[in-house]
Amino acid sequence: MGYIEKIQSMLQNGEISCVELTEKYLKAIEEANGELNAYVTVTPEVALEQAKQVDEKIKRGEKLLPLEGVPMTLKDNISTNGIETTCCSKILKGYKPIYDAKVWAILKKNNAILLGKTNMDEFAMGSSCETSCFGGATNPFNTDHVAGGSSGGVASAVGGDIAVFGLGSDTGGSIRQPASFCGIVGLKPTYGAVSRYGLVAYASSLDQIGPITKTVEDASLVYDVISEYDENDSTCEGRQGEPTYDTLNNDIKGMKIGIAREYLEGVREDVKEAVLEAARKYEEMGAEIVYFDLPALKFALPVYYILACAEASSNLGRYDGIRYGYKTEHYEGIHDMICKTRSEGFGEEVKRRILLGTYVLSAGYYDAYYKKAQNLRGTIIKAFDDAFKNVDVILAPTVPMTAFKSGEATSDPVETYLTDICTVPINIAGLPSVSVPCGFNKNGMPIGMQIIGDKFKEGKILNVAYKYEQACPENFKDTKWGVKL
Amino acid sequence: MKYELVAGFETHIELATDTKIFCSCSTAFGGAPNSHCCPVCIGLPGTLPKLNKKVVEYGIKAGLATHGKIANISKMDRKNYCYPDLSKAYQISQLYAPLTIGGYVELSSGKKIRLHHIHIEEDAGKLIHSHGDTYVDYNRGGVPLIEIVSEPDIRYIDEAREYVEKLQQVMRYIGISDCRMQEGSMRCDVNISVRPEGSEKLGTRTEIKNMNSISNIMKAMEYEYERQVDLIENGGKVVQETLRYDDATNTTSSMRSKEDAHDYRYFRDPDLVTICVTDEEVEEIKSTLPELPTEKYKRYVSEYGVPEKDAQLLTKYRNISEYFDKAITDLKKPKTASNFIIGQMFRILQTEEDKEAFDVKTTPEQLNELCKLIEGGKVQNNLAKSTLDKMLESGKPCTEYISEEDMAGLDDSFVDDLCRQAIEANPKAVEQYKQGKEKAIMACMGYVMKNSKGKANAQDVLEKIKSMIS
């Protein structure tokens, strides 16, 4: 049983009231957050008010809605009406949206309990959470290590049991990579399955909101709720087909699980071994492992960094100090004001990507970079399309390594970009992928693998992930932190 | 040396949709600053645009009305530039795949000014300078626009005037915009260059912005033409730049040169999906379009024998031509109705706004009834005219003012008698007429008309008298 079901049955059976439960989590946050630095804003008033409503509902004998009464968190780039939404950037400090993101509107309607907003790399640009203007979140397995990024705060909170689940966003791996680093589950849905309305844009054609949870069931439950069609997001189609929860336990006998050889290149030995061990487990369950080549993968990283930066340079143009957020103090004229505001308000990594993106879109370079990258994006999409003609899902490492120590990531940006090599192809192709813990290295740091599916096949990848979770529960470990139910 | 003017237009037209292009805020003109705004049109982080289908429909109408090809697939692009009135630091527009391609606007000379394309886009907000500070009003931000880009086919300033007027006329006909230049719902930028007459090579062009009336456009073009010719004749060179027209001094001044031209870094907007329009949908929209002014004009002149000048007046506004079309049902001589409209109705509709609204008390059916009485020989022109004046005042039908008796036809032999009497009573005039003085016969006419109380048909009478004399 997942944590969500367990909590809901405790609430429904009167073992604990929702207010008591919420207070437990708030207290745990107080105790752990100093070290984990997962939360950047805690919202006890909001949480307790919601909890009260849930308790009244239970008292009236009403049945709980999905996710109702479950304490959770949102990444700080998801707009919450009246609650600071900073993207962990100095430029948005103090900014309180006047509207709710679609996903938060759904969760609010279902009375999920918002404990607070969680840490992230500034504007979701980073792989360690360390570009946050609040400092990075740390890894609950070992706080000398990073939680990963960009949704490091959500992963740290969920891994450290100071939230039952959280929503992150994944543009190039930002859900899966920190989930992998923190030994938990992270689902990046198909592009268009979950509304982006209210998600502060980093790279609009790649961004996707998804759940970070401790178990596959929880990911499935959350995904089924948030994957609602939204007319306000033209690119959103919503979940296709039946709820993923219904097919979690389907038999996977005879299923073809593909492994692309390129996905194992340059991956650390311990990671590779853990993934191959998982493949053996699947064989034991009756699945067939199919090795194949995916040469287009080698384009993925440059394509990603060109497209993502190009879109980011446009998306981040609006932070000019005029309407909201940070504004420089001393300036002469509008031009000077905008320049100084942006120079002072953005961090180094964000500025680097804005510059890169501006460059690849500028006259004279557009064809050589942006246009070429768009064409190669087509090539990568086609390569995956072809692959799914022969296999049901693809198994791959989530990250070529385990969580590195704090401070180790930021020295060489290009080296850091390489950690995204396994995750970015999925965003480029718009596919769903779930990262699942598949072991630990010799230092006890978690290793993650991802199960990649064809478009809108969330049900299938979660089914495959769930089977593994059932077979290898030892890879899903608690840490010393947080609430123990 | 003589220099030829070469000009092309970029015309922005605000579409008369109720709501903005990417959100459901009102597009009404005016309103307290920032009162027609929402998270989407002020570009708050995380908001997404949702394309208003009406905007696409109106854009297609504009394309069809200018004989363009409607693209089955078109896309929205981002035009990136940073200015406080632009809340997202990019304008959502179309560059790589616009909604309509090609087309033309036909001038009265028959010359066609070709169009390059028409695209849809959003308007920006407005800066308001006051008390030494600058304020931003985003009410206009997100109001839908079409931009009509012409080829450089204009050679004379008069052609420019007619081109703009024709666009205005057509867009109003199809009901997609009121095209008021003073209110900014129609705005023109002109690209202008000169070249020695006979030369095929285009000269360096400048772009003039900021003109808010047709007369200013003409004045600015004239000024700019002279400036460029002077420059070249004095050994100078035209520099490619963007100019601002100053109404007060009637001069143009530089806004920015080519060197500091913007690099807009256009790219496909990832937040909006491809706009797909099927041929069936285009046909359906086409079927809703009214007959266009040029076609109407041609029909009035060739089929109805309406004089060209009158036909132009009748087709200037859709309401007039629709009124006329209804008023001439089953008439043998539609010109009778057009005379009444241009003569008597225009007298009470003095301003252009009045003419455009064409709000008269007399219905086209009532005018039709009056015209039919004339055609049936039951009422003479003079009586009809005075009757129409009364009708226009009261809104009542002509039968209120013309009695059965008035309408009773005159006996033919009675008219013959009157004609004979008239000839006898005016021997002098008859003599003069015989000597070739045509007008003299009017004396006899007058006699008959007077004694028939104006009921005799003047044309008949004239012929009768002439035949009796000869």
Which residues of chain B make contact with A313, given a CB cutoff of 8 A? 80, 265
Q: How far apart are CA B107 and CA B45, in angstroms?
A: 47
Confidence at B409, pLDDT banded by 50, 70, 90? low
CA distance B134 to chain A (A): 10
Q: What pLDDT does A204 receive?
A: 98
- Other CB atoms within 10 Å distance of the CB of residue B338: 24
Confidence at B410, pLDDT banded by 50, 70, 90? low
Q: In chain B, whose CA is at the least distance from the CA of A317?
A: B89
Q: What pLDDT does B420 receive?
A: 87
Q: How far apart are CA B405 and CA B239, in angstroms?
A: 78
Instruction: Note whether B80 contacts A: Cβ–Cβ < 8 A.
Output: yes
Q: Helix, strand or coil for residue B267? A: strand
Domains of chain A, by residue range, sit at: 3-257+389-475
Q: What pLDDT does A410 receive?
A: 58
Q: Does domain B412-469 have CATH number 3.40.50.720?
A: no
**Phi, psi (5° rounding) for residue A484?**
-105, 115
pLDDT in tens, B7-33: 999 999 999 999 999 999 999 988 999
B89–A320 CB contact, under 8 Å: yes
Q: What pLDDT does B407 receive?
A: 64
For residue B442 the two structure tokens come to: 């009017």
B88–A196 CB contact, under 8 Å: no
Instruction: Note whether A77 contacts B: Cβ–Cβ < 8 A.
Output: yes
Residues of chain A numbered 217-236 and touching chain B (CB < 8 Å): 231-235
Confidence at B405, pLDDT banded by 50, 70, 90? low
Confidence at B422, pLDDT banded by 50, 70, 90? confident
Instruction: Note whether B376 contacts A: Cβ–Cβ < 8 A.
Output: no
Quick one: B178 exposed, middle or buried, by C-beta within 10 A (0-12, 13-18, 19+)? middle
Q: What is the DSSP letter of B18?
A: S
Confidence at B259, pLDDT banded by 50, 70, 90? low
Q: Report yes or no for ipTM above 0.85.
A: yes
Q: Percent of chain B, pLDDT > 70?
A: 98
Residue B10's closest CA among B117, B100, B101? B117
Instruction: Assess whether A405 carries a catalytic annotation.
Output: no
Selected residue of A81, A315, A371, A374 to mutate for chain B interface (largest B Cβ count, 10 A)? A315
B87–A318 CB contact, under 8 Å: yes
A197–B46 CB contact, under 8 Å: yes
Q: What is the mean pLDDT of residues A413-439?
A: 91
A321, A327 Cβ separation under 8 angstroms = yes
For A104, residues 6+ apart whose C-beta sits below 8 A from its C-beta are A74, A78, A79, A80, A81, A114, A198
Q: How far apart are CA B85 and CA A395, in angstroms?
A: 49
A449, A435 Cβ separation under 8 angstroms = yes
Which residues of chain A make contact with B46, given a CB cutoff of 8 A? 77-79, 85, 97, 101, 196-201
pLDDT in tens, A338-373: 999 999 999 999 999 999 999 999 999 999 999 999
Q: Percent of chain A, pLDDT > 90?
A: 96
Radius of gyration of chain A (CA): 21
Instruction: Assess whether A75 carries a catalytic annotation.
Output: yes
Q: What pLDDT does B447 receive?
A: 85
For residue B450 the two structure tokens come to: 């007077």
Greater pLDDT, B209 or B408 = B209
CA distance B81 to chain A (A): 8
B45–A200 CB contact, under 8 Å: yes
Instruction: Note whether A362 contacts B: Cβ–Cβ < 8 A.
Output: yes
Q: What pLDDT does B30 receive?
A: 82
pLDDT in tens, A285-321: 999 999 999 999 999 999 999 999 999 999 999 999 9
Roughly what angle, to the nearest 10 degrees, separates helices B412-425 and B442-451? 130
Instruction: Note whether B49 contacts A: Cβ–Cβ < 8 A.
Output: yes
Instruction: Assess whether A411 carries a catalytic annotation.
Output: no
B114, B108 Cβ separation under 8 angstroms = no
Nearest Cβ partner of B89 from A231, A318, A324?
A: A318
A197, A203 Cβ separation under 8 angstroms = no
Which residues of chain A make contact with B265, given a CB cutoff of 8 A? 313-314, 358, 361-363, 366
Q: What pLDDT does B262 receive?
A: 82
Instruction: Note whether A81 contacts B: Cβ–Cβ < 8 A.
Output: no
Q: How far apart are CA B422 and CA B443, in angstroms?
A: 8
B138, B123 Cβ separation under 8 angstroms = no
Q: In chain A, whose CA is at the least distance from the CA of B42?
A: A323
Residue B445: HSE in the Cβ half-sphere, 13 Å Cα cutoff: 14
Q: How far apart are CA B405 and CA B320, in angstroms?
A: 33
pLDDT in tens, A98-145: 999 999 999 999 999 999 999 999 999 999 999 999 999 999 999 999
B46–A198 CB contact, under 8 Å: yes
Q: What is the mean pLDDT of residues A17-24?
A: 98
B88–A97 CB contact, under 8 Å: no
Whether A211 has a pLDDT exceeding 90, the answer reads: yes
Q: What pLDDT does A268 receive?
A: 93
Q: Which of A16-25, A211-220, B197-206 has the lowest mean pLDDT?
A: B197-206
Q: What is the mean pLDDT of residues A66-93?
A: 98
For residue A213 the two structure tokens come to: 């949870």
Q: What is the mean pLDDT of residues A34-39?
A: 98
Q: Percent of chain B, pLDDT > 90?
A: 70
Preceding omega of A127 cis (within 30 degrees of 0): no
B265–A314 CB contact, under 8 Å: yes
Q: What pLDDT does A119 receive?
A: 98
Instruction: Note whether B89 contacts A: Cβ–Cβ < 8 A.
Output: yes
Q: How far is CA A396 from the centre of its chain?
A: 17
Quick one: B324 exposed, middle or buried, by C-beta within 10 A (0-12, 13-18, 19+)? buried
Whether B296 has a pLDDT exceeding 90, the answer reads: yes
B265–A318 CB contact, under 8 Å: no
CA distance B80 to chain A (A): 7
Q: What is the mean pLDDT of residues B203-216?
A: 92
CA distance B60 to chain A (A): 21
Start-end ranges of CATH 1.10.10.410 in chain B?
A: 412-469
Q: In chain B, whose CA is at the least distance from the CA of A203?
A: B270
A320–B84 CB contact, under 8 Å: yes
Q: Where are the alpha helices (DSSP H) in A203-268?
A: 216-226
Q: How far is CA A182 from the centre of its chain?
A: 12
Q: Of the residues A17, A150, A151, A156, which is catalytic?
A: A150
Q: What is the mean pLDDT of residues A444-448?
A: 98
Instruction: Note whether B95 contacts A: Cβ–Cβ < 8 A.
Output: no
B374: left (phi over 0), alpha (psi -120 to 50) or beta: alpha
Size of interface A-B (CB pairs under 8 A): 97
Q: How far is CA A411 from the centre of its chain?
A: 24
Q: Which of A305-319, B119-133, B215-229, B413-427 has the lowest mean pLDDT?
A: B413-427
Q: Which of A380-384, B130-134, B451-455 has the highest mean pLDDT?
A: A380-384
Q: What pLDDT does B105 receive?
A: 97
Q: How far apart are CA A428 and CA A430, in angstroms?
A: 6
Residue A151: HSE in the Cβ half-sphere, 13 Å Cα cutoff: 41
Which residues of chain A make contact with B82, given a CB cutoff of 8 A? 317, 320, 338
Instruction: Note whether B258 contacts A: Cβ–Cβ < 8 A.
Output: no
A3-257+389-475 falls under which CATH superfamily?
Amidase signature (AS) domain (3.90.1300.10)
Q: What pLDDT does A417 receive?
A: 77
B16, B176 Cβ separation under 8 angstroms = yes
Instruction: Note whether B267 contacts A: Cβ–Cβ < 8 A.
Output: yes
Roughly what angle, to the nearest 10 degrees, separates helices B318-327 and B308-315? 110
Q: What pLDDT does B408 receive?
A: 62
A78–B46 CB contact, under 8 Å: yes
Q: In chain B, whose CA is at the least distance from the CA of A366?
A: B265
Q: What pLDDT does B269 receive?
A: 98
Q: Of the residues A79, A132, A169, A174, which is catalytic?
A: A174
Selected residue of A318, A343, A350, A367 to mutate for chain B interface (largest B Cβ count, 10 A)? A318
Q: Where are the alpha helices (DSSP H) in B113-248?
A: 157-173, 214-233
Q: What is the DSSP letter of B198?
A: T
B338, B306 Cβ separation under 8 angstroms = yes
Whether B88 has a pLDDT exceeding 80, the answer reads: yes
Whether A407 has a pLDDT exceeding 90, the answer reads: no
